[in-house]
Amino acid sequence: MSKIKFHSGENVPLEMHKVRIVQKLNLPPVEDRLKAMEEAGYNTFLLKNRDVFMDMLTDSGVNAMSDKQQAAMLEADDSYAGSETFTKLENKIKEIFGTEYFLPTHQGRACENIISQSFVKPGTIVPMNYHFTTTKAHIVLNGGRIEEIFIDEALNLTSDNPFKGNMDLDKLRDLIETSGADKIAFVRLEAGTNLIGGQPFAVENMQQVRKVCDEFGLMLILDASLLADNLYFIKEREEQCKEMTVREITRTIADLADIIYFSARKLGNARGGGICTNNRDVYMKMREYITLYEGFLTYGGMSVREMEAITVGLEETMDEEMINQGPQFISFMTEELIKKGVPVVTPAGGLGCHINAMEFVDHIPQSAYPAGALAAALYIVSGIRGMERGTLSEQRDEEGNETLSHMELLRLAMPRRVFTLSQVKYAVDRIAWLYENRKLIGGLEFTEEPSVLRFFFGKLTTSTDWQNKLVAKFKADFGDSL
Ligand SMILES: Cc1ncc(COP(=O)(O)O)c(C=O)c1O
């Protein structure tokens, strides 16, 4: 809810920034969009940006930077070793998280690689509130497996539970007791749980998870990539934190973790990433991998300009009026779609607006990738690029069987401070039209299927000629309009 009320009573998110640099957008005609989709193998990752009107694929590395971030980038101190820019970043992290040691990486999955190589041994288990694609891939690559111990409500797509990202404490304890604490590599808690709709955890839940970890001598690792949204929801929804500043909440959370890692493509509105800890042994164990895989310890694969931008971006994340922008726009879009009857994930979370494809195209079986088909259809009718988060984003098991996802979501990311309200209204309009014409959408099948992270490069085709029927209906209804 915006702090600024409209006299009309309307709940309109208000931008707390002004736009001073703009980028021209292109909206190709529907026939060209169909051609672009076909060329991209019905995979929105493979579309060219010049064919995309609203890029809602992700918020990763595409949030708008502030004038202060841009200015800081000009001041960067370029050197391989001992850069002043790195020291600034290290100090900012120390100030915000209270952690002594910082290892820079080129992005979030690099942290996952290093953490997994350091602590996941064959046969070990990593319990977590929910997995993220790259996290799971790295754990599995190192011989471990994940166990998702989300609360039952997490998978309830239309819920009013304010903290669907919480961990189920009884299930966590059960898992540790039945498998033995020595089999647990570490416990991982993800802020703003990406794959279940950007849903937050509560500080209270993390405090309880910490207690369980202490009882069994386990490390608690926080994936803080989506911490900004999670902080906003905690401040809004958690009674014990209402009077706390964002900085105080951040510190409370950080003090509960043994290791914090983050993708700075998300946290800090820049690019890059890093791992923070107060534990020297843990730091020393991971340190050698940084120089092997990332770069020297004072840049870790990041440019100095990126590091300057993160330092300022992290400070700006402590501002409630900055971190509220994403969630408030997402909430607006979600509410507008609900008014039009479109099935969406509630409560509105962070990161983006999530459409429930299982219900939107309930005539498409999971084996024909309903969320992928919906993503392709939406692009064709609007030029909007979203991301499939469902079975296509899963990996086949060792026998080659499909792993059916718990959810089939079309994620429409809301890069922070990037879109205007009229663009969001355009998206709502086209999605509502597509919903009315949903029966025209059909399934997809692979023509090229990579074995690892197949959603990035895989190519698909339509199982029937549904795409041409959809375009014909679009033209009948919209005439000359793009
Ligand atoms: C929760 C979470 N963890 C890790 C990552 C991986 O970060 P990166 O894309 O910077 O490698 C992401 C990226 O989307 C994420 O959302």
Q: Which two tokens stand for residue 437?
A: 């014409």
Q: Which atom of ligand 1 is nearest to the CA of 271?
A: 10
Rounded to the nearest integer, the mean pLDDT of the chain is 96
Instruction: Give pLDDT, residue 2.
Output: 62
- Per residue in 108-130, pLDDT tens? 999 999 999 999 999 999 999 99
pLDDT confidence bin for 4, thresholds 50/70/90? confident
Ligand 1, atom 15: nearest CA belongs to which residue? 225
Ligand 1, atom 14: nearest CA belongs to which residue? 60
280 catalytic? Reply is no
Give bridge partners of residue 476 from the DSSP assignment: none
Instruction: Indicate which residue of 92, 389, 416, 417 is catalytic.
Output: 389
362 catalytic? Reply is no
283 catalytic? Reply is no
pLDDT confidence bin for 458, thresholds 50/70/90? very high
How many angstroms separate the alpha carbon of residue 229 from the centre of ligand 1?
14
347 preceded by a cis bond (ω within 30 of 0): yes
55 catalytic? Reply is no
Exposure of 146 in the CB half-sphere (CA atoms within 13 A): 20
119 catalytic? Reply is no
Going from the C-alpha of 377 to that of each of 30, 230, 415, 454, the distances in angstroms are 11, 31, 21, 20
168 catalytic? Reply is no
Ligand 1, atom 3: nearest CA belongs to which residue? 225
d(C-alpha 33, C-alpha 134), whole Å: 30
d(C-alpha 261, C-alpha 274), whole Å: 6
- Per residue in 67-99, pLDDT tens? 999 999 999 999 999 999 999 999 999 999 999
How many angstroms separate the alpha carbon of residue 225 from the centre of ligand 1?
6
Q: Is the pLDDT of residue 230 over 60?
A: yes
DSSP string for 300-363? TT--HHHHHHHHHHHHHHT-HHHHTHHHHHHHHHHHHHHHTT--B-BS--SSEEEEEHHHHTTT
* Amino acid identity at 443: G
Ligand 1, atom 2: nearest CA belongs to which residue? 225
Q: Is the pLDDT of residue 480 over 90?
A: no
Q: Which two tokens stand for residue 179?
A: 């498998």
Kindly provide the b/e burial profile for residues 124-147, where b requires at least 16 CB atoms within 10 angstroms of the residue's own CB: bbbbbbbbbbbbbbbbbebebebb
Say if CB 223 and CB 263 are below 8 A apart. no
- Per residue in 54-63, pLDDT tens? 999 999 999 9
Say if CB 330 and CB 110 are below 8 A apart. no
CA-nearest of 148, 203, 186, 166 to 275 is 186
Q: CB count, 10 Å around CB of 150?
A: 22
Instruction: Give the predicted TM-score (pTM) of the model.
Output: 0.94
Q: How far is CA 409 from the centre of its chain?
A: 13
Instruction: Indicate which residue of 51, 59, 168, 223 is catalytic.
Output: 223
CA-nearest of 297, 279, 280 to 288 is 297
Ligand 1 pocket at CB < 6 A:
60, 107-109, 132, 134-135, 190, 194, 223, 225-226, 263, 265, 273
